[in-house]
């Protein structure tokens, strides 16, 4: 009777479960199939030019809204006609300009030392007035 038990134990020990090994092999095969083409076809990517000064000159019917490092907003609705605008009165000033020139493009330029909340506040004021054509002007670092 002891020999019968020994034979059944040796039969179960003699088989090896290769299912986890096959799962690992299949997973590695899938990973290599996906990553190898990505490694072969890399492309050179150049970052865009951060200076939009040349593009600004090409925009027609533009109104420039700038904020200096002191937080003073200036509105230039006509070339050479730049006036200081209180930030709390900005919506009324933009509404007056927008009523005269409904197809205008508003260009926002904020000094880099100002917090980004100022950019958002100027953009929000333009949105409340209904100006749809708003551009953020950037300058390259010196």
The pLDDT tens digits for 85-124 are 988 899 999 999 999 988 888 999 998 889 989 999 999 9
pLDDT for 27 beyond 70: yes
**Alpha carbons 72 and 95: distance in angstroms, whole number:** 19
Whole-number Cα distances in Å, 122 to 62, 102, 128: 16, 18, 10
Does residue 45 lie within any of the structural domains? no
Does residue 10 lie within any of the structural domains? yes
How buried is 131 (Cβ within 10 angstroms: 0-12 exposed, 13-18 middle, 19+ buried)?
A: buried
Does residue 97 lie within any of the structural domains? yes
**Alpha carbons 119 and 117: distance in angstroms, whole number:** 5
Give yes or no: residues 29 and 88 share one domain.
no
Mean pLDDT of the residues in the chain:
81
Whole-structure pTM value: 0.60
The confidence band for 137, taking pLDDT boundaries of 50, 70 and 90, is confident
> By residue range, what is the domain housing residue 106?
53-136
Give yes or no: residues 59 and 98 share one domain.
yes
Number of domains in the chain: 2
Find out whether 131 and 98 touch, Cβ atoms under 8 Å: yes
Indicate which CATH number applies to the domain containing 81. Answer: 3.30.420.270
pLDDT for 54 beyond 70: no
Does residue 48 lie within any of the structural domains? no
Nearest to 76 by CA among 101, 51, 55: 101
Predicted pLDDT at 11 = 54
Region 19-45: mean pLDDT is 82
Give yes or no: residues 65 and 14 share one domain.
no
Give yes or no: residues 16 and 63 share one domain.
no
Give yes or no: residues 82 and 132 share one domain.
yes
Does residue 95 lie within any of the structural domains? yes
Give yes or no: residues 67 and 119 share one domain.
yes
Nearest to 62 by CA among 117, 116, 5, 109: 109
């Amino acid at each position: 009777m002891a020999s019968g038990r020994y034979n059944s134990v040796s039969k179960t020990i003699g088989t090896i479960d290769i299912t986890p090994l096959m799962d690992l092999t299949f997973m590695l095969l899938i990973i290599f199939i996906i990553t190898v083409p990505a490694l072969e076809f890399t492309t050179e990517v150049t970052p865009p030019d951060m200076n939009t000064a040349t593009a600004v000159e090409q925009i027609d019917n533009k109104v420039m809204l700038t904020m200096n490092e002191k937080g003073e907003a200036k509105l230039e609705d006509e070339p050479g006609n730049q006036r200081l605008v209180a930030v709390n009165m900005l919506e009324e000033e933009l509404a007056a300009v927008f009523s005269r020139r409904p197809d205008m493009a508003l260009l926002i330029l904020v000094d880099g030392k100002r917090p980004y909340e100022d950019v958002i506040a100027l953009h929000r004021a333009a949105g409340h007035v209904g100006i749809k054509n708003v551009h953020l002007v950037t300058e390259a670092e010196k």
